[in-house]
Amino acid sequence: MLAPLRHARAALLLAASAVPLAPVHALAAPSAEDMARSISLRADWQYLTREIAWPASWTPDGSAFSYRKTVEGGFAFETYDLRARAKTPAFDQQKLAKALGAAMGETIDPLRLPFDQFSWGPDRQSIGFGIDYAGWNCTLTDYHCAPEADPRRPRGFGVVRDLSVPADNHPRLSPDGKWEALVEDNNLVVRPAGSRDLTRLSSDGTEGNFYDPETIEWSPDSRHVMIYRVRPGFARHVLRVEAAPAGQLQPALRSQLYPKPGDAVDQEQPVLFDVASRRQTVVDPALFPNPYQLSQPRWRADGKSVEFDYDKRGFGQARIIAVDAGTGAAHAAVTEDARTFFYADRRFAHDVNGLGGEIVWASERDGWNHLYLMDGKTGKVKNRITTGNWVVREVVKVDDAKRQIWFAASGMNPGEDPYFRHYYRIDFDGRNLTPLTPERADHAARFSPDMQFYVDTYSRVDMPTVSELHRASDGAVVATITRGDISRLTAAGFHAPEVFTAKGRDGKSDIWGLVVRPHDYDPAKKYPVIENIYAGPHDSFVPKTFWPFGYHSGGDKVIGMQALADLGFIVVQIDGMGTANRSKAFQDVAWKNLQDSGFPDRILWHKAMAAKDPSYDISRVGIYGASAGGQSTLNALLFHGDFYKAGVAMAGCYDNRMDKISWNEQWLGWPVDKSYADASGVDNAAKLQGKLFLIVGEQDSNVDPASTMQVVNALVKADKDFDLLVVPGGEHTVGRSTGPIDYVTRRLSTFFVRSLQQ
């Protein structure tokens, strides 16, 4: 039987050879010079633009605004004076670089200050900014810089207090200046201002159920105090060995408070006190059972009631709880129930006039994120403010007197990229919707404190940034502040990425992505494809603005993709279903389903791109990503190994039971259930197909690096081949914005050349 089969196969090959085929030219392997050019591309191109501006920061008095822009050799900070219509340096960058460098213990280039935006101090004699998630302040009189001091006790991801650090127990002065409140021996006490004559208001506080002085809030009339009594949660610590600490031979042990999904969180019980009568009222928790987190108490303007936000564990319910100051009775001013989840980081509420009668509330109850005017007494909807198949992205300002709201939204304009942000004004009753930023681009508007003007900074990936000053009343342009010039960048070989859309798994939703091709792209050749993935449900990630150089949480932007493409690949980035900034149903795909990562949509997108472009070789598709993108990369090879052939997974949260409590319970819920295991790269390691390269920073403080090593252990047990790079001392962003960037880039690039081109 074998011989006839061989003859049949030969006949088929002869028949196929008779059919003329379009020529396909082979790709030459990248040379050492190609690799060097690719690795240095960001450094070579990053400073070729001019007048590309960042969103503005207004001075407290609204007389001027400041912004960063690109100049020869780097970036300059500039201030525009509204009255003089003139530009001046925002500060002395030479002096600030020297002062900041001295404080940080390093040399800083004045044209490459390590921040892109800042806020003015109240007198314009100082500025504040962030560097690597830490706050800094610099004076502009004597140029002294120091990190922001935070006297508050740290909390692990906001839900477990670090009891090894004393709480900030400074006396809280009452509004009338007569009383001070503080905690002594775990109980609330008050005393006349400046006196040591203490009056104990509580006696039920203990070491294991203590009153937290950092939650003390006085009523405006100084008659009442609300404070939380706290039962501590589980203080889980992640331990990391630093094998090669700087300046010493022996390794060091690092410890970090790090609550994980399912861990017990601090239980906060609101307690109300009448200072004159010493009456204590423990607020009935029936309306806020099993809290994940309560916000700091907020007193209403008239002092008759106090409110706090409640997020239920598992993120199925959000409420504003209002407590009557006289009786201690609680009621739900607003309740948001979700079939899947409510997105805690994007909840918005505004107490109109600060009296609790009306509340502007953001809700996805109709399937899109919109604004509602709620009756704060009954918790019912008074009227809708916004409506339609589009999403409110940000509330900029609520004007109680004019009963107007200024907000950003996306998806309102037919035929436009639904992720582009535009700004609008609308009345409380939903009338007089007024667009303020009509240009077909993504906008970042910054309004003056008095809402009389705004600076609109807008761009697209194929359009350099424009920054304009507008009058807020009618949107008229007052002045053009900057207009980006990319002529030198274009001359160096930059090409804007191609925007491409295809239908998702539902046959209706447009899936948006970018395509980056080699600088010497030849449509007659066949190119392997690499996808840059970040699929966290908390946002969308395909760039919409021009700036192509910097890193973001999901990986590198366009220039990083270009550098990889120049080695002989087509590199793409896609926002599949399960990500944010579209409809609720679009994002809900991720609920208890993190292993999905939008892959059904992504694969359809790839196939649609290949049908359009014969050079797009979907028989050779690779993928790379970091953090949640690292988890998605691994899952591509575990669950879709028939499509994805190779992957580089960096700093991944491969098992969501190992990762931080906040991010994972938001998307997988509570209690920890089968959905956590279903998404686990550890539990599913034996399903690995294709070639895998794992990269992890030894000192990752965002994702427990043991998560990577547990995948390694499971792969070894499953007898799977893979590559592994552990960077000693490396943090979560190793190889992307800190650490040995060029080394990791070279290793990643070499891996894909070896895996997809040879």
Write out pLDDT tens, residues 182-204: 999 999 999 999 999 999 999 99
Percent residues over pLDDT 90 in the chain: 92
How far is C-alpha 657 from the chain's CA centre? 21
Spacing of C-alpha 158 from chain mean position: 16
Cα separation, 163 vs 402, in Å, equals: 46
Q: Is the peptide bond before 528 cis (omega within 30 degrees of 0)?
A: no
- Flag the least confident range among 22-31, 564-573, 645-654, 666-675: 22-31
Query: Can you state the angle between helices 628-639 and 599-612, rounded to 10 degrees?
Result: 70
CB 230 within 8 A of CB 210: yes
Q: For residue 694, list its beta bridge partners.
A: 649, 724
Question: What is the tens place of the pLDDT at every residue in 262-280?
Answer: 999 999 999 999 999 999 9
Cα–Cα distance between 369 and 390 in angstroms, integer? 8
Pick 1 or 479 by higher pLDDT: 479
How does the average pLDDT of the chain come out, rounded? 94
CA distances for 225 relative to 193, 230, 273, 353, angstroms: 15, 16, 5, 21
Pairing state between β 210-211 and 252-257: unpaired
Name the token pair of 230: 């706290």
| Digit-coded pLDDT (tens) for 534-587 | 999 999 999 999 999 874 333 457 999 999 999 999 999 999 999 999 999 999
Instruction: Fill in the amino acid letter for 704.
Output: D
Q: CB-based contacts of 361: which residues, under 8 Å, 6+ apart? A: 334, 336, 348, 349, 371, 372, 373, 374
Q: 575-601, pLDDT tens digit by residue?
A: 999 999 999 999 999 999 999 999 999
User: Is residue 506 left, alpha or beta, with left meaning phi > 0 and alpha meaning psi from -120 to 50?
Assistant: alpha
DSSP 531-580: EE----TT---S--SS--SSEETTEE-HHHHHHHHTTT-EEEEEE-TT-S
Tens of pLDDT along 495-535? 999 999 999 999 999 999 999 999 999 999 999 999 999 99
**Do residues 223 and 184 lie in contact, with contact meaning Cβ atoms separated by under 8 Å?**
no
Band of residue 10 on the pLDDT scale cut at 50, 70, 90: very low
Q: How far apart are CA 692 and CA 703, in angstroms?
A: 19
Residue type present at position 362: A
pLDDT of 18 reads: 35
Note the pLDDT of residue 380.
98
Tokens of 36: 């060097």
pLDDT attached to residue 557: 78
Give the pLDDT score at 1: 32
Q: How far apart are CA 603 and CA 601, in angstroms?
A: 6
Residue with structure tokens 């031979």? Answer: 249
**SS3 for 587?**
helix
Average pLDDT over residues 292-309: 98
Q: What is the pLDDT of residues 616-655, one digit of tens each?
A: 999 999 999 999 999 999 999 999 999 999 999 999 999 9
- What three-state secondary structure class fits 497? coil
**Helices assigned H by DSSP within 481-598:** 487-491, 558-565, 584-588
Q: Does residue 19 register a pLDDT over 90?
A: no
Starting at the edge strand found earlier in the chain, the sheet holding 74-81 runs: 57-58, 64-71, 74-81, 86-89
How far, rounded to the nearest angstrom, does the alpha carbon of residue 518 sit from its chain's CA centroid?
30
Containing H/E element for 95? helix 93-104
When pLDDT is averaged across residues 42-69 and rounded to a whole number, the result is: 96
* Closest by CA position to 737, among listed 176, 60, 116, 79: 116
Greater confidence (21 vs 393) lies with 393
Q: How far apart are CA 696 and CA 469, in angstroms?
A: 45
Q: Are the C-beta atoms of 649 and 624 separated by less than 8 Å?
A: yes
- Per-residue pLDDT at 2: 33
Any bridge partners for residue 453, and if so which?
471
How far the first Cα of the chain sits from its last, in Å, is 35
Q: Are strands 644-650 and 391-399 parallel, antiparallel or unpaired?
A: unpaired
Per-residue pLDDT, 576 = 98
Predicted local confidence at residue 214, as pLDDT: 98
Please give the model's pTM, rounded to 2 decimal places: 0.94
415 within 8 A of 501, measured Cβ to Cβ: no
Q: Which residue is it, tokens 């001027």?
A: 64
Predicted pLDDT at 739: 67
pLDDT confidence of 733, banded at 50, 70, 90? confident
DSSP-assigned beta bridge partners for residue 160: 156
Distance of alpha carbon 397 from alpha carbon 406, whole angstroms: 5
Q: Quick one: DSSP state of residue 113?
A: -
The strand pair at 616-626 and 644-650 is best described as parallel
**Residue 416 tokens, joined:** 């436009």
Q: Which domains does the chain have, with CATH numbers?
A: 24-46+489-757 (3.40.50.1820), 57-149 (no CATH), 151-347 (2.140.10.30), 384-484 (2.120.10.30)
Residue range 367-385: mean pLDDT, rounded: 98
